[in-house]
Chains A and B, each alone.
Chain A
Amino acid sequence: MNVEQKIIFSEQTLAIVSKIVSHYPEGKQKSALLPVLHIAQAEFGGWLSVPVMDYVASILNILPIEVYEVATFYSMYNTKPVGNCVIEICRTGPCWLCGAEEIISHLESKLKIKAGETTADGKFTIKLVECLADCGNAPVIQVGWDYHGNMTKEKADELIIDFDKNNKVSHKNPYEI
């Protein structure tokens, strides 16, 4: 996240948040926490800083600790900065059987980082994940909200080139995709 970026949702995003909150009974607005964290993460640089989590707590009228304990539990939320493009590689069971390790090694050597790290230019992060539930298309990777199945080294290269050349960002408000 850009340090100068003001932590406040746009009117448009606030309208989405209000709609989500309306899905739950009165007084149960905490139920909206998971979806709102997805939005906050996408809109504030792909990760959840303490000020971002505090902001989410304030708009849902819950305690900041209630947000922290959730944000640190679920694997989809990043509590440390990530690159513009987060490449999530499934490495479990069927993906492993179908060559996930080869894809992981290839991406690590191509981007010159280890899984869990971000490139020095801040463009790419490699993240290993457990089962994306698309095992019929193994090996599978997810970039942003898009699944890419039957992954090969060539396909992985194409994805990187596309993001690099077009300065793409993988984190987008999921309610606006």
Chain B
Amino acid sequence: MEKKILLANIETPDFGKFETFRKQGGYAAVEKALKTMSPENVVDEVKKSGLRGRGGAGFPTGLKWSFIDKSTNNPRYLLCNADEGEPGTFKDHYLILKNPHLLIEGMILSSFALGANTAYIFLRGEWFYLMKILDQAIEEAYAKGYLGKNILGTDFSLDLYCHPGGGAYICGEETALIEALEGKRGNPRMKPPFPAIKGLYQNPTCVNNVETIAAVPWIINNGGCEYANVGIGKSTGTKLISACGHINKPGVYEIEMGLPVEEFIYSEKYLGGIKNGKKLKAVIAGGSSVPILPTELILKTAKGEPRLLSYESLADGGFETGTMMGSGGFIVMDETTCMVKSLLNYSRFYHHESCGQCSPCREGTGWMEKILHRIEHGQGNMHDIDLLVDIAKHVEGNTICPLGEAAAWPVRSSILHFRKEFEAHVINKKCTFNNG
């Protein structure tokens, strides 16, 4: 489980500089693709690799690329989604900081595959210091002939720019990101038409996450089949897991898909166990929007098999006993954590971040927060608990974008697995935990 695809060599001094990156094999995939492959070949290799979108949805990347409308002569765009903002998720932040040229190399290859001559990296606005790092790397790539007109003497040209956001979680949704890039409020668009047909400035557009794009150079260098050999089943390759909360070693880990969750949490090589010798209570495995699981279900599936860090194993059992890989934001909570207060915290987040376009989301997120506030403060009743589940079910699936699900799933899963805590708040008319 030592495979490093995205974070290989990052400890090399000055790895963020062009020359150092180049000496370690960087930009070789661009040379290979532009000089010996067609765009279709690149798409095929990515399809063969089984690479799935690492932003959270897990949609096959090669397939997504093949949806790009090639029937028009309009410009095509590649947008990199670096608007990371899901609580618990900080992998892209780390990847850009440590390996900016890998992202640029991935952008060149992906743009070549899509026939895009202009690409943007949409960074969350708080990250101007990261934008500076990326801008310097982009400047170096232009100077060395890897960006700009007729890259490496070929027919392919690409301009790459960074674009800062304004601080809105919703811009992580691809159509909201496009709206923001057009200088508007980040309101998600109705689909269809999908961005592959009408995206940025109504032109064919592909939006991919940082981690997804950064995996492409390795796939081109080593072949899609080789990438598919890494990992387990349909969860191919490696995954960045950003771990935080009550653990001894928070940080970003590149793991080969299929690593047992128990090993990840307790091994010294990874998280080093729970802080202060406390007991594990629950984990949100894929960023705050995915269902929370209690200890017994995060370590083992309902069938008693070891739970693995893979799309399939994490989802095993469906909503009742499983969760999702999501973005890989791994939030660990110990036995002192109040699940009502924790849920209230996330519900406030989703209420705050709802763009307000759809009534179920705009009203539902605020309503759920309000009810949770009264339960946490001992003013709730038993009916409130069922009412929360009911509201969540009405928000879920009834909104333009997935923020509805993101707000609803934590509510439904927290009550499903920790209902007794909600009831105890109602019965005792107070929170019996004293944390946070």
Contacts and interface: CB of A to CB of B under 8 A. Distances in A.
A92 B353 CA distance: 12
Interface string B254-296: 0000000000000000000000000000001000100000000
Nearest to A90: B87
Contacts of A101: 436
Question: In terms of DSSP, what is the predominant structure of the interface of chain B?
Answer: mixed
A97 B436 contact: yes
Contacts of B169: 130-131
A134 B93 contact: yes
Interface string B175-209: 00000111111100000000000000100000000
A122 interface: no
Contacts of B331: 93-94, 97, 135
A173 B89 CA distance: 27
Given A74-B168, A135-B242, A31 B93 contact: no
Contacts of B161: 23
Interface string A76-92: 11000000000000011
Interface stretch (B41-49, B125-133, B382-390): B125-133
Interface in B112-157: 118, 120, 124-126, 128-129, 131-132
Interface residues of A, number: 46
Interface stretch (A9-17, A65-73, A107-115, A157-165): A65-73
A175 B162 CA distance: 12
B15 interface: no
Contacts of A75: 166-168
A42 B203 CA distance: 33
Chain A CB within 10 Å, residue with most, of B93, B94, B167:
B167
B164 A38 contact: yes
A70 B346 contact: no
Interface stretch (B231-239, B243-251, B366-374): B243-251
Interface residues of B, number: 60
B244 to A, nearest CB: 4
B165 A34 contact: yes
B329 interface: yes
A121 interface: no
B163 interface: yes
B345 interface: yes
A91 B344 CA distance: 12
B86 interface: yes
Contacts of B165: 34, 74
Nearest to B159: A23
Contact of A136 (B84, B118, B183, B252): B252
A177 interface: yes
Contacts of B184: 30, 66, 69-70
A160 B8 CA distance: 39
Nearest to A25: B201
Nearest to A132: B126
B217 interface: no
Chain B CB within 10 Å, residue with most, of A30, A37, A76:
A76
Given A94-B87, A96-B345, A130-B353, A34 B244 contact: no
Given A38-B164, A96-B345, A177-B129, A135 B88 contact: yes
A173 B369 CA distance: 36
Nearest to A93: B87
Contact of B85 (A38, A98, A133, A177): A133
B186 A136 contact: no
A28 B202 CA distance: 12
A33 interface: yes
A24 to B, nearest CB: 8
Contacts of B30: none
Contacts of A137: 250
Nearest to A27: B201
A165 to B, nearest CB: 24
A34 B126 contact: no
Interface in A17-68: 23, 25, 28, 30-35, 37-38, 60, 62, 66
Interface string B6-35: 000000000000000000000000000000
B333 interface: yes
Given A74-B168, A136-B244, 5 more contacts: A23-B120, A76-B126, A130-B85, A134-B90, A175-B128
Leading 7 A-B pairs by shortest Cβ distance: A74-B166, A76-B167, A33-B183, A93-B87, A30-B183, A174-B128, A135-B244
Interface of B: 75, 84-90, 92-94, 118, 120, 124-126, 128-129, 131-132, 159, 161, 163-169, 180-186, 201, 242-246, 250-252, 284, 288, 329, 331, 333, 337, 342, 345-346, 348-349, 352-353, 355, 436
17 contacts: A23-B161, A30-B184, A35-B164, A38-B166, A66-B184, A75-B167, A75-B168, A77-B167, A96-B345, A97-B342, A130-B169, A130-B353, A132-B126, A135-B87, A135-B245, A145-B126, A177-B128
